[in-house]
């Protein structure tokens, strides 16, 4: 590479006094010293913005504090116990779960199909790849509001199209039954292209000779899909599932701009609930408890998925 040739000519070497090589031990020590020095800014950062918050919010979750009072009263497990009796919290948790499962199923199916289409050598395939990834670089706030407008019962494009084929569309975001599905549709529109790009990278990592060999043995396209594509994609499927579950469980911006948790609390999700508790009602201890429950759920779900897929891989 030309880069390597350049390096040997670089001014670093010219006119440097040649010293004898220091002993290996001294070099090792100098290396370690530089390593820690180089890591120092990030270490301070993680201590301040990850370590401290994780500990502090754990302690806060056993206290009652409204942000302005001088002292935070110790309440023990009361915040966690109150959560179980809090109907809005339980409902938010349930709705978050429904949202997460629906969106993850949508993503696994549509992203994989899209990726297989994008893997074909067809005309304009690069253009299709470009277009399908576009929503991933667009902000959730912008997308949310455009979709509010698309879902408008009277003037929105969706109901106007439905009217064109003689169907009177639902009220969507104004209908407690249809608001959560509308959020799922919006989130799917945003994320399918992103995950399709990841699936595409996985597909292109499968050696073509597997398919050629299978074809010689008389396998059909369906055989190839079930026996080659899906098993070979297992790490990608795991990655996509884990990512989708983590991201969906933390859905916030879409809910904030599209529904504000309504109508009638039908789209309240856990992070939106946490945000309200912390920054509308200033119940910092209670909100911290919600945060820890969320942390715990995400941790368990991620672990469970690794266990599940790991086992299948052994079998």
Q: Which of 100, 48, 47, 96 is nearest to 274 (CA)?
A: 96
Least Å from the CB of residue 176 to another protein = 20
Report the first-to-last Cα separation within the chain, whole angstroms: 45
Distance of alpha carbon 48 from the chain centroid:
24
Least Å from the CB of residue 180 to another protein = 19
Least Å from the CB of residue 120 to another protein = 6
- Is 162 a binder of another protein (CB under 8 A)? no
Q: Is 112 or 178 the residue whose CB approaches another protein more closely?
A: 112
User: Any bridge partners for residue 74, and if so which?
Assistant: 63
CA angle 310, 312, 315 (to 5 degrees): 115
Q: Is 177 or 230 the residue whose CB approaches another protein more closely?
A: 230
* Strand, coil or helix: 275: helix
- Is 301 a binder of another protein (CB under 8 A)? no
Q: Half-sphere exposure of residue 112, counting CA atoms within 13 Å on the CB side?
A: 18
Report the site for another protein in 5-34 (rule: CB under 8 A).
Answer: 6-8, 10, 12-13, 16, 18-19, 21, 28, 30-32, 34
Q: Which of 132, 178, 180, 245 binds another protein (CB under 8 A)?
A: 132
Which phi and psi (to 5°) does residue 74 adopt? Answer: -70, 125
Please tell me the distance from the alpha carbon of residue 26 to that of residue 31, in angstroms, as a whole number.
9
CA angle 60, 65, 67 (to 5 degrees): 105
- Is 149 a binder of another protein (CB under 8 A)? yes
Q: Of 80-88, 159-167, 176-184, 306-314, which segment contacts another protein by CB under 8 A?
A: 159-167
Please tell me the distance from the alpha carbon of residue 135 to that of residue 124, in angstroms, as a whole number.
19
Do residues 241 and 297 lie in contact, with contact meaning Cβ atoms separated by under 8 Å?
Answer: no
Q: Of 50-58, 75-83, 92-100, 305-313, which segment contacts another protein by CB under 8 A?
A: 50-58
- Is 56 a binder of another protein (CB under 8 A)? yes
Q: Of 40-48, 89-97, 98-106, 172-180, which segment contacts another protein by CB under 8 A?
A: 40-48
Q: Which of 77, 94, 201, 313 binds another protein (CB under 8 A)?
A: 201
Report the site for another protein in 84-103 (rule: CB under 8 A).
Answer: none
Report the site for another protein in 205-264 (rule: CB under 8 A).
Answer: 205-206, 208, 211, 214-215, 219-221, 224-225, 228-229, 236, 239, 246, 249-250, 252-253, 256-257
- Is 109 a binder of another protein (CB under 8 A)? no
Helices 179-204/125-133 angle, 10° precision: 140
CA angle 261, 149, 274 (to 5 degrees): 20
Identify the DSSP state of 172. Answer: G
Least Å from the CB of residue 106 to another protein = 13
Least Å from the CB of residue 59 to another protein = 9
Q: How many residues bind another protein (CB under 8 A)?
A: 117
Q: Is 42 or 315 the residue whose CB approaches another protein more closely?
A: 42
Report the site for another protein in 171-190 (rule: CB under 8 A).
Answer: 189
Report which secondary-structure segment, H or E, holds 63.
strand 63-64
- Is 128 a binder of another protein (CB under 8 A)? yes
Report which secondary-structure segment, H or E, holds 73.
strand 73-74
Q: Of 74-82, 87-95, 175-183, 200-208, which segment contacts another protein by CB under 8 A?
A: 200-208
């Amino acid at each position: 590479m030309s880069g390597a040739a350049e390096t040997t000519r670089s001014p670093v070497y010219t006119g440097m006094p040649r010293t004898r090589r220091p002993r290996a031990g001294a070099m090792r020590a100098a290396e370690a010293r530089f390593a820690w020095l180089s890591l120092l800014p990030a270490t301070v950062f993680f201590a301040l913005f990850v370590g401290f918050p994780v500990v502090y919010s754990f302690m806060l979750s056993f206290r009652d504090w409204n942000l302005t009072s001088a002292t935070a009263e110790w309440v023990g497990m009361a915040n966690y116990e109150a959560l179980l009796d809090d109907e809005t919290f339980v409902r938010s948790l349930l709705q978050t779960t429904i949202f997460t499962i629906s969106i993850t199923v949508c993503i696994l199916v549509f992203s994989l199909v899209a990726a297989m289409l994008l893997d074909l050598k067809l005309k304009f395939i690069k253009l299709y790849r470009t277009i399908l990834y576009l929503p991933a670089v667009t902000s959730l706030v912008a997308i949310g509001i455009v979709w509010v407008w698309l879902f408008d019962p009277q003037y929105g494009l969706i109901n106007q199209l439905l009217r064109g084929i003689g169907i009177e569309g639902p009220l969507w975001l104004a209908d407690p039954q249809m608001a959560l599905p509308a959020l799922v549709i919006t989130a799917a529109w945003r994320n399918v292209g992103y995950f399709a790009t990841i699936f595409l990278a996985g597909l292109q990592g499968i050696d073509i000779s597997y398919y050629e060999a299978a074809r010689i043995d008389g396998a059909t396209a369906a055989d190839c899909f079930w026996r080659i594509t899906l098993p070979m994609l297992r790490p990608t499927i795991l990655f996509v599932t884990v990512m989708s579950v983590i991201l969906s469980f933390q859905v916030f911006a879409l809910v904030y701009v599209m529904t504000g948790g309504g109508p009638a609390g039908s789209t309240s999700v856990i992070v939106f609930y946490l945000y309200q508790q912390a920054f509308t009602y200033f119940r910092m201890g209670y909100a911290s408890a919600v945060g820890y429950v969320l942390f715990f759920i995400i941790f368990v779900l991620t672990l469970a998925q690794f266990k599940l897929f790991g086992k299948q891989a052994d079998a």
